[in-house]
């Protein structure tokens, strides 16, 4: 048991050190959502003040609306960046060092997912703190209630990133992930616009957004921030996290990079 704990501690510590040493990574992770909040949302400030949307009890400005979506955006980018680091690790061989551990590979990968998720949470709370100062203030208890929701979403997106990294053979292919995974997941969700707004413009767009797992992730976090439980979103996120983790672990092959080099 101690071995497992030591291993988990080691992996989390490594991610933490990487996070601390790469300040620019932390800053860029914050700058992205802050640009959306302070610049993009400013232009639409009054756009949403016309309807009450669950879980809000009253009218809200657009900046209040997009904060949960932007929190999830941090998790999305970090999840995908986690997959990038996995490709890097495989190419540089440090993953193989990790896999020499006698502990089961499934545990090692799960620990890696958890470590990425925990680091992501720090960034999300840094963002929420800035948003709070800016004036987007969910109930104080909501910030605590959102913690498990954010952790689940972070795990879900890290698992997705890991699964994707298994399919990526080279570091350069990551650009494709941006175009074909991050952008569609983010824009075809309720992060920036409520689903009923999507429906006003087109029915098929609405359905694409409604089935997008990222929509459920955003709604889970949004509801938790305002002390509500969105049960459907919770079940979907939990189920998907379990499924993606299983698939990622099952399809993980550290030999990819090595084989390519030999070949």
Partner 1 sequence: MRLTRLACAVAFGLACHSAFAATAYVSNEKDDSISVIDLDSLEVTATLDVGMRPRGLLLSSDNRLLYICASDSDRVQVMDLATRTIIKELPSGADPEQFALHPNDRWLYISNEDDALVTVVDAQSDEVLAQIEVGVEPEGMAVSPDGKWAVNTSETTNMLHWIDTRTQQLVDNTLVDQRPRHVEFEKDGKRLWASAEIGGTVTVLDVDSRQVLKVLNFAIKGVHPDKVQPVGVKLSDDGKYAFVALGPANHVAVVDARTFEILDYLLVGRRVWHMAFTPDQKRLLTTNGVSGDVSVIDVDSLKVTKSIKVGRYPWGVVVTP
By CB under 8 A, name the binding residues for partner 1. 45-46, 49-50, 52, 57-61
- The three-state secondary structure class of 92 is helix
Least separation in angstroms between residue 137's CB and partner 1 is 8
CB 90 within 8 A of CB 257: yes
Q: Which has the closest alpha carbon to 71: 140, 133, 135, 124?
A: 124
Give me the least distance between CB of 61 and partner 1, in Å please: 6
Nearer to partner 1, 52 or 97 (CB): 52
Provide, rounded to whole angstroms, the least separation between the CB of residue 128 and partner 1: 18
Q: Closest by alpha carbon to 72, among 228, 211, 192?
A: 192
Helix pair 203-211, 213-225: axis angle to 10 deg: 70
- Residue 117 CA to residue 1 CA, distance in Å, equals 22
- In the complex with partner 1, which residue's Cβ is closer, 46 or 246? 46
Measure Cα distances from 103 to 1, 6, 218 in Å. Answer: 10, 11, 34
Q: Which is nearer to partner 1, 57 or 172 (CB)?
A: 57
CB nearer to partner 1: give 139 or 148: 139
Minimum distance from residue 46 beta carbon to partner 1 (Å): 5
DSSP 56: -
Closest CA to 155 of 55, 243, 68: 243
Is 61 or 101 the residue whose CB approaches partner 1 more closely? 61
Distance, in Å, from the CA atom of 155 to the CA atom of 119, rounded to the nearest integer, reads 11
Residue 226: CB atoms within 10 Å:
18
Smallest distance, Å, CB 190 to partner 1?
A: 21
CA dihedral 187→190→193→199, nearest 10 degrees, is 100
Q: Which is nearer to partner 1, 42 or 243 (CB)?
A: 42
Compute the least distance from the CB of residue 157 to partner 1, in Å: 32
Cβ burial, residue 62 (10 Å; 0-12/13-18/19+)? buried
CB of 42 to partner 1, least distance (A): 8
Comparing CB distances to partner 1, the nearer of 21 and 46 is 46
């Amino acid at each position: 048991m101690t071995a497992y704990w030591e291993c988990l501690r080691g992996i989390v510590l490594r991610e933490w050190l990487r996070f601390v040493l790469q300040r620019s990574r932390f800053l860029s992770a914050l700058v992205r959502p802050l640009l959306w909040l302070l610049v993009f949302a400013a232009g639409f400030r009054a756009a949403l003040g016309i309807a009450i949307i669950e879980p809000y009890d009253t009218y809200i400005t657009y900046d209040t609306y997009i904060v949960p979506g932007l929190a999830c955006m941090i998790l999305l980018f970090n999840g995908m960046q986690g997959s990038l680091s996995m490709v890097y690790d495989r190419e540089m061989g440090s993953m193989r060092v990790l896999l020499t551990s006698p502990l089961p590979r499934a545990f090692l990968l799960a620990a890696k997912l958890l470590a990425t998720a925990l680091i992501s949470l720090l960034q999300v709370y840094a963002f929420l703190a800035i948003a709070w100062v800016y004036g987007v203030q969910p109930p104080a208890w909501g910030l605590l209630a959102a913690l498990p929701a954010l952790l689940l979403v972070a795990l879900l997106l890290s698992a997705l990133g890991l699964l994707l990294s298994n399919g990526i053979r080279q570091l350069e292919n990551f650009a494709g992930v941006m175009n074909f995974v991050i952008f569609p997941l983010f824009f075809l969700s309720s992060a920036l616009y409520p689903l009923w707004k999507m429906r006003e413009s087109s029915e098929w767009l609405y359905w694409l957004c409604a089935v997008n797992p990222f929509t459920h992730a955003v709604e889970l976090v949004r509801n938790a921030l305002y002390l509500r439980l969105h049960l459907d979103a919770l079940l979907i996120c939990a189920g998907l996290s379990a499924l993606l983790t299983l698939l990622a672990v099952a399809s993980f092959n550290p030999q990819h990079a090595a084989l390519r080099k030999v070949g």
